[in-house]
Structure 1
């Protein structure tokens, strides 16, 4: 029997449980197959299958059979379906110094009392030695002046609890304290909790669903039942971020090598010292595989902004992605291009940045960028937001000028992704205060409306050129513009057009002979 599974009855299914199968085999008990799919003469069949030897359940799969037998029992008043929760009793004490002290007093008469609210919070004493005592007591037992106290209610001598709470104690309600962090009279005020809660977005690994999320939700529901919070659930939305992986390199003997010990040779990797071909794999970062990326080294070579930006640019936030040096180098080059848009060779504001009204084309590109980045941030699509900023920088480098207002707005858009370079550029644009307190830029819907469109022009089904025409152009105007385009006109010279095809907004095709 398993103590944590079921209660009140003993059930044995030797044909479909490994432990029961071993027991039945040892004591020569009958083994009756009730789920087809395996060979029970050799071992228990523990996978899904179709029920047999089961009366009214024959022919059903396991899930269907569970549902039907539960309904059958409920119809006859013999039982009812229930959910078997697996939330276990929580070991909530630690024998270490750090952690929240338990607000309990052990009195000389053997009773235990809760520390009065007026004496909270209990602060940890200063200790020179954080190790357990020689007799195995927790480190706090060393602080005798702190341990030995007097119960303020009864006047009896008492001892404080020397165990401390685990780190879970704080992490189960930190979000509530964030609502009212400077409140010195209570954990949080009702007004602040009602204003801020629930949490809109929780970002964490998939393992949080059965660890932190499970316990913080349990804690929050207890607080709800006690009337201390107004929401049943603490978090509205959960987002599981992916993991950053890295290449590992293993030789024919199974030994791992540092990336610095190998070099690429076409599609293969070789050891620099011997030329031996090694196996390259994308794996979870691990010291044993020598594939851990040291952030200090990345920051030292490329800067913190490049590292931040690359982590967001690697791919969708919820996917696992491999780290590559080439990738961070590419993002570093992008930041250098951003710098060159704003800063001249002398280190001052470049001549491209001008006062007054800017070019219509670059302003339209900026507002497209603001809209795209705004929407991508809302959707946690940071990689596509960065790609859109890269497109804008390419356009800005092609433009002769960039007006001061547009230059400032792009810096504000860049700031959440690359805050350090953004602050530097903000300063060079003439500002003395941090941009951190600036409002997020708005985009003008009117500037997002395209006034022109690009139409591919084919001759006998082959692309020969493209024309740009106003979006409200008629069919006749577009066909005339196509025939007047220099490239198209040269192809038509000496030919006769026998048919003109225009697919609205898509293409022009001229059939000639």
Structure 2
């Protein structure tokens, strides 16, 4: 009898063996075929790992282990995305320096990951807060600055009233800060921006050349938001100025009955002396400043606005004067900050027009009564009430109106993108210093590359300031410097980079993390790139994924990296929910600590369960019973030692099943079907248990197939059974396609339409053989005269008697 399965002893033993042997270190032998598997590196929080973290890590660990057994030089690295607000907020609350908080969190995370037996190459560990790392983040920023893609701009930002920091739109959820839950208001601030919009088309086109799951591609395309339309100039009546709008439906210009401008539109300041109701507009501007972009653009919200009394606009196609309204649903950060409103063919405009009793003119025939019910975005039908466009189909009308606008110099056809430039400033301490100084004579000047890294100085106080400046602004000895251009007095930039900076290129550093002369050597980049398989959360597909692709494409254009796309394949995983089907959170009391699962059931059990819990790309609810079931499965795998018999080959009655399982597990691991791969191994285990024996050859193959999922137990059994070497050094099993096909098949035998038995037949049995065998099986039931015999190959035999 085998000794009991003791996961605590076994898992510590094999983790030490792997560490001592550097079992999973990628080599610098660039002659071998390579495979680069990547998971999003975590933000090391004080709470440590939750059970959601192991799901993607285990999935790619399976791929990495399988690839090594297939002869690849595998890079499967891990690091820490350690700058950012959560650490700084924790540091402020607990009066501990962010550097100390980060070091403690990283230590805890690393211990937890190590306890799960992941085959990370820890020699390549990176940390975004290491000056030797962020030196190259700063270097990339300087390249962007010198290329005109980093610039400073006065703009309204989302300001968290508690964190006292500017937030990207994506960091504002339902009008509050996603980090602390405090209200977010609008505030004008001078911000560093990255011109990601210059790469909008390249980011779209690049999606044609990569293997991303469809919903990731759709997410990227929607965020970039490419559209075809026209820019149209609406004159301000009696003035030389104009309001320019972008519209995808220039064919509906005759239906534009009013205009709407953003509360931040500069025309309001320019004409404040002529606007008679400026007090009402000022009050409305203050209200709008207390809302996030998300709240302002939410379709379902009640429409609000103020009509400007004192100026109006002129519709360029018919010369009619139309009112101008101020409303917060128009954003200065999107488009031109002004829109033309066509209420007959846009739901939001229609709702606004109905509320404020504004004219509604149908210009595309085919809808309901537009005075009673709007019909949205009519893209077919014929033009009506549209002067020289009347009678034209929509597509033809679009072309004609653009030609007319260009001829009259009232507008032009234009491709537009919803994508906005990237706000790249944070008025906080815990981030990469921006390597720029400001000189009154020379303006914004880049630090010489020889002065990088510009290190984050130690500060007595890293508390956010009430005036919105970074805590670094108070460090006059650090701030005051000399201009690299003229040698005169200058001041350092005191904003720091956002958390997205370090994560936009970390995958490059993994290829050559100790390099002091470059972010990575050309040889390493040429060999390892692109990443072969990258898995991450869907929540990062419109931010991190887009930002990192932008930086990579810029570096490709500057001949720093060898390929235009960083990731060849991108997949995403579903969330693990609490047992109650809700998202895990402390407030709901449904958080599961992976340390407890590892302690009580073992790392291999946790790994197996997280892969067996359900389809990898879908959310799944945690189940304690499911964990116990996976533990029982591993115990049964362990006990197969008790029925082990000699024989290096597959037994004849198991050969087909073995080859079928090798094929299924191999294919399922490649296609994110981890749950069905494990189910196949469970079914094979049942067959061995039912048979009562397993040959050494069969057990060997079984252990190899299970190893990527449950590496500790399989290494221990391998060693106990006397197999040569270690499992991780072995070759992945191969199947013979011909041997995956069943040689025999079981077919129901019916008498007068009722099943009376089952017969095992060769797959290619002819009718005569099939009937003869069937009659043997049901001989005692054939008591009458046979009048008909029916044989449907591989399906059924029916004998009719009377």
TM class by shorter chain equals 0.7 to 0.9
> CA offset at residue 140 of structure 1?
4.8
Tell me the distance in 1 between the aligned counterparts of 2:482 and 2:697.
67
Aligned counterpart, 1:475: 767
Distance of aligned partners of 1:313 and 1:39 in 2 relative to their CA distance in 1, 3 Å threshold:
farther
1:37-48 pair list within 5 angstroms: 45=374, 47-48=376-377
> CA offset at residue 145 of structure 1?
7.4
TM-score, normalised via structure 1 length: 0.77
**Is 2:616 the partner of 1:325?**
no
1:358 and 1:401 in contact (8 A); partners too? no
2:384 and 2:391 in contact (8 A); partners too? no
Where 2:759 maps in the other structure, the secondary structure is strand
Per-residue CA deviation, residues 140-198 of structure 1 (Å, 9 max, x unaligned), is 56777766777788777766544321121121122222333343321123333333333
> CA offset at residue 374 of structure 1?
0.7
Distance of aligned partners of 1:371 and 1:439 in 2 relative to their CA distance in 1, 3 Å threshold:
same
Aligned counterpart in structure 1 of residue 799 of structure 2, from 494, 510, 513: 510
Tell me the distance in 2 between the aligned counterparts of 1:244 and 1:57.
56
Tell me the distance in 2 between the aligned counterparts of 1:287 and 1:38.
51
Distance of aligned partners of 1:329 and 1:8 in 2 relative to their CA distance in 1, 3 Å threshold:
closer
Aligned counterpart, 2:336: 7
2:660 and 2:735 in contact (8 A); partners too? yes
> CA offset at residue 288 of structure 1?
3.8
Tell me the distance in 1 between the aligned counterparts of 2:455 and 2:801.
91
1:107 and 1:151 in contact (8 A); partners too? yes
Aligned counterpart in structure 2 of residue 428 of structure 1, from 720, 732, 742: 720
Tell me the distance in 1 between the aligned counterparts of 2:450 and 2:351.
61
1:459 and 1:510 in contact (8 A); partners too? yes
Tell me the distance in 1 between the aligned counterparts of 2:756 and 2:352.
77
> CA offset at residue 81 of structure 1?
4.7
Aligned counterpart in structure 2 of residue 200 of structure 1, from 532, 535, 538: 532
2:347 and 2:376 in contact (8 A); partners too? no
**Is 2:731 the partner of 1:439?**
yes
Aligned counterpart, 1:170: 502
**Is 2:518 the partner of 1:189?**
no
Gaps of 5+ in 2: 1-260, 262-329
Distance of aligned partners of 1:285 and 1:69 in 2 relative to their CA distance in 1, 3 Å threshold:
farther
1:353 and 1:407 in contact (8 A); partners too? no
**Is 2:563 the partner of 1:231?**
yes
1:112-261 pair list within 5 angstroms: 112-125=444-457, 130-132=462-464, 138-140=470-472, 160-248=492-580
Q: Pick 1 or 2: higher relative contact order, CA cutoff 8 A, min separation 6.
A: 2
Aligned counterpart in structure 2 of residue 32 of structure 1, from 361, 370, 391: 361
Per-residue CA deviation, residues 187-210 of structure 1 (Å, 9 max, x unaligned), is 123333333333333333333332
Distance of aligned partners of 1:341 and 1:19 in 2 relative to their CA distance in 1, 3 Å threshold:
same
**Is 2:698 the partner of 1:406?**
yes
Tell me the distance in 1 between the aligned counterparts of 2:766 and 2:696.
38
> CA offset at residue 317 of structure 1?
1.8
Equivalenced residues, count: 464
Aligned counterpart in structure 1 of residue 677 of structure 2, from 385, 391, 405: 385
1:306 and 1:418 in contact (8 A); partners too? yes
Aligned counterpart in structure 1 of residue 748 of structure 2, from 443, 450, 456: 456
> CA offset at residue 387 of structure 1?
1.0
Aligned counterpart in structure 1 of residue 687 of structure 2, from 387, 395, 410: 395
2:445 and 2:485 in contact (8 A); partners too? no
> CA offset at residue 426 of structure 1?
2.7
Distance of aligned partners of 1:236 and 1:82 in 2 relative to their CA distance in 1, 3 Å threshold:
farther
1:21 and 1:31 in contact (8 A); partners too? no
Distance of aligned partners of 1:177 and 1:57 in 2 relative to their CA distance in 1, 3 Å threshold:
farther
Per-residue CA deviation, residues 103-142 of structure 1 (Å, 9 max, x unaligned), is 3345697755433333433444556764457987645567
Q: Which is worse superposed, 400-409 or 380-389?
A: 400-409
Q: State the superposition RMSD in angstroms.
A: 3.7
1:305-344 pair list within 5 angstroms: 305-342=604-641
Where 1:284 maps in the other structure, the secondary structure is coil
> CA offset at residue 302 of structure 1?
2.8
Q: Which is worse superposed, 188-197 or 388-397?
A: 188-197
Gaps of 5+ in 1: 249-281, 343-349
Tell me the distance in 2 between the aligned counterparts of 1:57 and 1:475.
74
TM-score, normalised via structure 2 length: 0.51
Where 2:758 maps in the other structure, the secondary structure is strand
Tell me the distance in 2 between the aligned counterparts of 1:21 and 1:357.
75
Where 1:83 maps in the other structure, the secondary structure is strand
Where 1:285 maps in the other structure, the secondary structure is coil
Aligned counterpart in structure 1 of residue 659 of structure 2, from 337, 353, 367: 367
Aligned counterpart, 1:71: 399
Tell me the distance in 1 between the aligned counterparts of 2:741 and 2:495.
66
